[in-house]
Amino acid sequence: MKTMKQLETKIEDYKRFVITLIILSSYFFVGTIISMHVYQNQLEELMMTLTLIGLTAAFYFTLKLSDFQQRISEGE
């Protein structure tokens, strides 16, 4: 019973973290677009790399989230 509660807590934490990573990645993407068109800055590659890292991490945690949800459904 304790492990089910821990899995439910992890699911909620992972959901919040995935949402945070997606929001952060979207800010990086908007920053990339602004720097490319307004400031003519040379940080586009860095910003796009950070965007891709954030989205990749969000995808990874989404996979982990679905694994935790399967464990809960199997345990019930």
Domain ranges of the chain: 2-75
More confident residue, 6 or 61: 61
pLDDT for 76: 66
* Segment among 23-32, 41-50, 54-63, 65-74 with least mean pLDDT: 41-50
More confident residue, 5 or 16: 16
pLDDT for 75: 74
pTM of the model: 0.78
pLDDT tens sequence across 64-74: 999 888 888 88
Per-residue buried b or exposed e for 48-61, using 16+ beta carbons within 10 Å of the residue's own CB: eebbeebbebbeeb
